[in-house]
Structure 1
Amino acid sequence: MEDSKKLLIVTHAPSPNTRRLRDAVVEGASHPDIDNVEVRVRAPLDAGPEDVLWSDAIILGTTENLGYMSGALKDFFDRSYYPCLEKTQGLPFSYYIRAGHDGTGTRRAIESITTGLRWRLVQEPVLCRGEFRDEFTSQCHELGMTLSASLDAGML
Structure 2
Amino acid sequence: MTKRLLIVWHSMTGGTRQIAEAAAEGARREEDMAVVLKPALEAGPDDLLAADGYIFACPENLAAIAGVMKAFFDRCYYPALGRIEGRPYVTLVCAGTDGTNAIRQIERIATGWRLKPAADPRIVLTHADTPEAILAPKVIGPDDLEACRNMGHALAAGLAMGIV
TM-score (norm 2): 0.88
Q: Which runs of 5+ in 1 are unaligned?
A: none
- Within 5 Å, give how 1:44-123 maps onto structure 2: 44-123=40-119
CA contact (8 A) 2:56 2:92 kept: yes
- Is 1:133 aligned to 2:141, yes or no? yes
- For residue 12 of structure 2, give the secondary structure of its aligned residue in structure 1: coil
- The match for 1:8 is 6
> What is the match of residue 149 of structure 1?
157
Tell me the number of residue pairs that the alignment of Structure 1 and Structure 2 aligns. 152
Does structure 2 conserve the Cα–Cα contact (< 8 Å) formed by 1:13 and 1:22?
A: no
13-22 or 36-45: which moved more? Answer: 13-22
Counterpart for residue 24 of structure 1: 22
Alpha-carbon separation, structure 2, partners of 1:74 and 1:17 = 18
Distance apart, 1:139 and its partner CA: 1.1
What is the identity percentage for the equivalent residue pairs of Structure 1 and Structure 2? 36
Offset of 1:124 from its aligned partner? 1.0
**How far did 1:116 drift?**
1.1
Q: Deviation string for 1:105-132 (max 9, x for gaps)?
A: 1111111111111111111111112435
TM-score between both structures, scaled by the size of structure 1:
0.92
Mapped contact 1:68–1:109 kept (Cα < 8 A): yes
SS in 1 for 2:82: coil
CA drift of 1:18 comes to: 2.7
C-alpha deviation, 1:102, in angstroms: 1.0
Deviation per residue, 1:41-73 (Å, 9 max, x gap): 110010000000000000010001000011111
For the aligned residue pairs, the C-alpha RMSD in angstroms reads 1.2
Unaligned runs of 5+ in 2: 128-139
